[in-house]
Structure 1
Amino acid sequence: MDGASSGEASGAGLILINPDGQEFTYAIKMNFKSTNNEAEYEAFLAGLRIAKKLGVKFLEARVDSMLIASQVSGTYEEKNDTMASYLSQAKDLMQHFTSCKVVHIKRSENRPADALSKLASTSFDHMGRDVRIKVLNAPSVPQHQVLVIQTGTSSCMEPIMSYLSSGTLPEDKAEARKIRHKALWYQVHDGILFRKSFLVPLLRCVDAEESNYVI
């Protein structure tokens, strides 16, 4: 995680990585004034809250803030009331985990979270409220190849839907564990599967036939 403070606003960048290597990325904008240390703590607290909500039991928090790492470890005592309050909240949240380790890393090792925090702390009043990043996986100009889309195959949503609807899991233990992790980000409502997010509304999942219709 990382926090950034500017004259316009403050932001937090968070990247949570589960044991399977799946990443969950967040950019959080704070519409209030704060110092850089306060922004760092807000990012730290936000990461702890999200991890708690996801049901994480064992957490390693990688931070480039020496202040946070030193305060949490007890090697540095903060006399500032505001910082003391932040530390108290952090310790309260950390109690919810079976294990919660805070590791100090170099800023150069934290560039992805740093970039997210700076993006979130920038004012985009002249633009739309939401800025979405689109990844292009192919050139925009015609190529000498064609993309073949096969329909009628088993949907990747079916195992998640089965688990959330009836608790059914694959016999393979590794695959079952993956389904459990993925299912944390989904919910079923009236027989329809939706993907959850902290930053946007629920996203409806569609199968191959429905996606062709939408397009």
Structure 2
Amino acid sequence: MTIRDMHSFTTWTMYFDGASNSKGKGVGIVLISSQDEHIPISIKLDFDYTNNVAEYEACIAGLEAALSLESFHNISFTYISRLRNRFADALATLASMVDIPVGVKVRPLAIKRHVVPAHIHMVQIAARCLVRKPWYFDIKNLIFGRGNPPEASLTERRASQKLASRYVICGGDQYRRSFDGVQLLCADDDRAAKILEDVHSGGCGPHMNGKMLARKILHLGYFWTTLEADCFSFVKTCHNVYPHIYWSYSLFTHIWHGSCSAHRVDNSVTQNPDGKRSTGIEWARIRHQELCMLDEKRLKTTYHVQGYQRILERAFNKKVRIRELREGDMVLRECRASIFDPRGKFRPNWSGSYGVDESLPGKAVRLLDQNGDRIPEPTNLDQLKR
């Protein structure tokens, strides 16, 4: 049904339908303004009626709702199929199936549209609300004397303390001490992405490969722990450099590293892997830049070792039976001490029984002998069995 406003000459569209089933009866109306604003209305009917009466009730209820919004001078009706009237039909079915107690007010129905699953939507909201910490956050806390995170192990604490000794705070910013005396500004993720794009786009020279890009950024006075790997990844995504350049450069670098004769030192003149001759000062500067990127290689090696250890741990733990002992349990202890026994190989491998007196951290317990006296030395769980 189309309704035309007599004042602003705007057009409203109304869809209506009725529904009747074993649960009850109801009508549904949808009013659509000229600005494409949808107003759904659902009404439950508590009296008996035929299908024609249901259509009349829906039409009258829709007209009353429309007249409460605007004044109209022209109304026209058009028959449409149920496929095009699904919204009103759903509202009518909803009204017929719900039970609304007397005196209970139901708020207007609000229908939203989600284009992604709910968990992805919540993750995106949490990501926007979450403040990302820079990679040097823990190092900065160590410099200010705030200590390590509570979950850090002793090995991680020592490694962090050694790593923090190479950094300094100046003017509120964190810098890394380089081997040639230049302080390198520590860049977070957002600044690092901007630096990569600006330097590689030609603002600081022509397009370059990953190794030269990393050296250029170090020469400009910036640093982050994944500098070299990020440079290689960024260069591979650049469409202005052709693939055969990467192939030729990788082949030449492999040949240069594999041959001792390709690296020629002639007093103060050196042959670079790029095929250019440079002075000893330039050679020393390049070596200093490579030393600055050693931390990245150390961290990458540590991650590989930790990942390999986790794989071995998972494979080993599949065959391990968890042994849980509580206070009061009776156990046997393995005889591991080299005590002379005239029985020789017929000596028993287990002694006891003992009672568990106290559980200690580190998978150890304190035992009681058969007389109730405590054994002073703690015993590991791998030496006990029930």
Measured against the shorter chain, the TM-score band is 0.3 to 0.5
Query: TM-score, normalised to structure 1's length?
Result: 0.43
Computing the radius of gyration from Cα coordinates, the structure with the larger value is 2
Query: TM-score, normalised to structure 2's length?
Result: 0.25
